[in-house]
Amino acid sequence: MKKLEETLGVKLILRSNRGSCLTPEGKIFYKKICGILPELVETIYEFQQKSSEKAIELKVGVLTSLGDILMNQYVTYFQKNKNILITVYSMEKNELIHSLNSGKIDIASSFLSDDETLENFEKVLFRRDKMVYYAPNITEICNTISIKTILNFPLVKYPPDNFMNKMIDQYFNIAGKVPVVAAQLPSPYAIIQYCKRNTAGALIAERLLNTLGDSYEHGYCNIDPSYTMKAFLLYKKENPKYRAIKLFIDYVVKLNKNNS
pLDDT for res 181: 96
**223/146 same-domain check:** yes
pLDDT for res 47: 61
pLDDT for res 204: 94
Query: What rounded mean pLDDT belongs to the chain?
Result: 84
Q: Which of 87, 89, 90 is nearest to 79 (CA)?
A: 87
Write the CATH number for 243. 3.40.190.10
**161/222 same-domain check:** yes
147 close to 225: Cβ distance less than 8 angstroms:
yes
Q: 137 lies in a domain?
A: yes
**133/123 same-domain check:** no
Please write the tens of the pLDDT for every residue from 195-247. 999 999 999 999 888 888 756 667 899 999 999 999 999 999 888 899 889 98
| Strands in 137-209 per DSSP E | 144-146, 155-157, 181-184, 202-205
- Tell me the C-alpha distance between 242 and 229, whole Å: 27
Total domains in the chain come to 3
Tens of pLDDT along the chain (260 residues) come to: 676 777 777 787 887 777 778 888 878 877 777 766 656 655 655 665 555 557 788 999 988 877 656 666 667 667 666 678 888 898 889 999 999 999 999 999 999 988 888 888 999 999 999 999 999 999 877 789 999 999 999 999 999 989 899 899 999 998 999 899 999 999 999 999 999 999 999 999 998 888 887 566 678 999 999 999 999 999 998 888 998 899 889 988 988 887 76
- Residue 11's domain comprises 2-34
Q: Which of 197, 250, 209, 219 is nearest to 84 (CA)?
A: 250
Q: 193 lies in a domain?
A: yes
Write the CATH number for 138. 3.40.190.290
Q: CB-hemisphere CA count at 13 Å for 150?
A: 30
- Tell me the C-alpha distance between 237 and 140, whole Å: 49
